[in-house]
A and B are shown apart, each in its own frame.
Chain A
Amino acid sequence: MADVLQVQDLNKIYDGKATFQALTNITFNVDKGEFIGVMGPSGSGGKTTLLNLISTIDRPTSGQVIVNGQEPHKLKKGKLAEFRRKELGFVFQDFNLLDTLTVEENIMLPLTLERVDSGEIDKKVQAFTQKLGIDSILNKRTYEISGGQKQRTAIARAIIHQPSLLLADEPTGNLDSKSSKDVMQTLQMINEKDKTTMLMVTHDPSAASYCDRVIFIKDGKLYNEVFKGTNQKVFFQQILDVLSMLGGRFG
């Protein structure tokens, strides 16, 4: 299978009062249709930095990120915008919805920026919101809906342009356990039905157990990876084991 995402020898060093190496020689590949989790002890860095580098929000100090054969960090600003519009979808912990817009308008924003025909937009919005179960709140503003609904709105916005790679940063971090479960099931459903490739950063083991594979990062270095077999509960236990090992050995 073709690799949607290749990460090679990625390094990130933050210059500041104390120079800090957030990532050291990270290398891994993600296949098309794969759902990858990135975990690590909360607070001890690397997860979000890694995601920021892949998502072009931040620049690496050295190394490569290749998405669908393109290297986004080498693109010029105009091309980079187009790249983000076509190849990437984002889901954040704090949703990052625009509160001046309604749910529907937030979802259609990527298509608007792409100047897609208005009729086409309506069709897509309808299809995706029905799939996510948010078609009844389309005309609500963001402050009128619950956290779970906000995150599903953000997911709809992230997938409406059918990106090659969906990136999620602690998507359940601000949600209660019921909403977390809903959101994770939604992501899993999209991954299975649409074959959308996903990369999710989380420190929540139950959220990570929805993935196909989980990569563990400790102090900016790759530590371990765990593949899901057939059973989610067994996978969940394996994740917990690695986490306790991570904590136990280094904590």
Chain B
Amino acid sequence: MTFPQFAYKNITRNLRAYLAFYLSSSFAVMIFFMFAMFIFHPALETGYMNNIAKKGMVFAEWVIFVFSILFVLYSVSAFLKTRKSEFGILTIQGASPKQLRLLITLENVFIGLASIVTGIIGGTVLAKLFFTAGSYIVEMEPLELYFPLKALGITIGGVFLPLFVLISQFTLFIIHSEEVVSLLKGSVKPKREPKPSIPFSILGMMFLGGGFGLALFAGIDIGSAVIITVCTVIGTYLFYSQLSVWVLKLLKRNKKFYRKGTNLLWISDLMYRVKDNARLFFIVSIVSAVAFTATGTLATYKSMFTTEDSLYEMEFLSYSSNKDENEQLTYIQQQFEQKNIDYEQSKFKAIETGQGSSNYPVLVLSYKDGMKILPELKTPKLEEGKGGFTLGKQNEKDIQYSKIIRQTYN
């Protein structure tokens, strides 16, 4: 038996211990990769969805990134805790620090790679669902699955592979700083009974209540959004670490209930379980919340954007590359006529142009067409080579003129 063989046997014969670590890492990779696939989708690079929404997604990805680190770090440390006595035995049998490092690094990279592969497969499936569901919500063509080279690169090379290597070095540091005697005793150290703090439990309730209350009844602007987020994050943490244990403790104190049947078993067991896994529950909750909220916000934002910014009740936008334009127009007109809807049609040509990376593209039309559509604007006469800028229907009254668009019209 050589040392690498030993490492291999260690993993294959103890799969259950590695399984939890592997699955939780896969979960982190999966969520991260799904968002990366969305952000780097080629269809989104050329417009369609506006940049603010995309920025929101990038922000969500950052949040997921930070929590992924915490998540993987937590899984690794929980995983290593169960194996302390094993490292103690190896040390006492004379395994050198170098050999231990090799063993742990090998294991971490191996499990890391496996969970990256699993996470990416899972993420792709999830992304497909996400794209379909998302397109249903915003009523647009489903985004197509694509070969996500950039997303793959960032997920594998940019984030998770370095993460697994770094974390394994970090855990080695922890192991080396402990005396062998505490390593040997490591796995059998008695657990202290969880003691919830009542003030913190109440505080947690207040934060959660406050957060949800604000979200339900207060108007949403940037300020209240921040308060709501902070409240629910703190509240969620206290909920898992204090409040849930406290509730169980109350149940335990009720002797009539506690001493009936299996109640005694599950309550006392759950108290330890909840306490042990509070941080994990917290991280999973936050990551899922971010993912869902980001998706939801995106959907609402898109629908808000379409109703508020249109000049007309209905718009048909056709690019010059659209060969079926006439056919489609005829179809729309037929629909109107069939349903006896009175309508007025105005048609004009426009040029799409960007206005910096932070804003969505605008349509530029000629002065003549513009006056025809919006006679109430009473625009001052534009000089040759200058343009005007209007912020759409809602903001008709504050029309600003600027020199940001330099376009000469024919």
Contacts and interface: CB of A to CB of B under 8 A. Distances in A.
Contacts of B179: 57-59
Contact of B92 (A55, A59, A77, A78): A55
Contact of B181 (A52, A109, A113, A121): A52
Contact of A100 (B10, B99, B180, B184): B10
Nearest to B11: A100
A127 B31 CA distance: 55
B184 to A, nearest CB: 7
B296 interface: no
Given A52-B181, A58-B180, A96-B85, A115 B3 contact: yes
A56 interface: yes
Contacts of A97: 89
B91 interface: yes
A245 interface: no
Interface residues of B, number: 27
Contacts of B88: 96
B181 A81 contact: no
A78 B180 contact: no
Contact of B93 (A52, A77, A84, A100): A84
B94 interface: yes
A151 to B, nearest CB: 15
B1 A112 contact: yes
Interface in A107-138: 108-110, 112-115, 118, 121
B195 interface: no
B98 A78 contact: yes
B316 interface: no
B1 A81 contact: no
A101 interface: yes
A247 B149 CA distance: 76
A157 B97 CA distance: 20
A58 B99 contact: no
Nearest to B85: A96
B107 interface: no
Nearest to B95: A113
B13 interface: yes
B190 to A, nearest CB: 15
B6 interface: yes
Contacts of B91: 81, 84
A98 B7 CA distance: 12
A81 B94 contact: yes
> Main SS of the interface on chain A?
helix
Q: Which of B6, B92, B181 has most chain A Cβ within 10 Å?
A: B92
A112 B94 contact: no
A105 B99 CA distance: 17
Contacts of B1: 105, 108, 112, 118, 121
A113 B85 CA distance: 17
B9 A101 contact: yes
Interface string B83-125: 0011011111111111100000000000000000000000000
Interface in A145-204: 157
B14 interface: yes
B13 A85 contact: no
A121 B105 CA distance: 26
B2 interface: yes
B150 interface: no
Nearest to B3: A112
B176 interface: yes
Interface residues of A, number: 32
A221 interface: no
A56 B180 CA distance: 8
Contacts of A55: 92
B96 A78 contact: yes
A77 B176 contact: yes
B180 A57 contact: yes
A83 B180 CA distance: 15
A113 B92 contact: no
Given A57-B92, A57-B184, A108-B1, A100 B97 contact: no
B92 A84 contact: yes
A90 interface: yes
A153 B293 CA distance: 57
A82 B10 CA distance: 22
A85 B184 contact: no
A144 to B, nearest CB: 13
A85 B97 contact: no
A96 B99 contact: no
Contacts of A59: 179
A20 to B, nearest CB: 15
Contacts of B97: 77-78, 81
Contacts of A101: 6, 9-10, 13
B181 A58 contact: yes
A88 B88 CA distance: 15
B180 A98 contact: no
A58 B14 CA distance: 29
A56 B184 CA distance: 13
Interface of B: 1-3, 6, 9-10, 13-14, 85-86, 88-99, 176, 179-181, 184
Given A96-B184, A110-B93, A118-B2, 16 more contacts: A55-B92, A57-B180, A81-B95, A81-B97, A84-B93, A88-B94, A96-B85, A96-B92, A98-B89, A101-B6, A105-B6, A108-B1, A109-B93, A113-B93, A113-B95, A113-B96
24 contacts: A55-B92, A57-B179, A57-B180, A58-B179, A58-B181, A77-B96, A78-B96, A78-B97, A81-B95, A82-B94, A82-B96, A84-B92, A85-B94, A96-B89, A98-B89, A100-B9, A100-B10, A101-B6, A101-B9, A101-B10, A113-B95, A114-B94, A121-B1, A157-B93
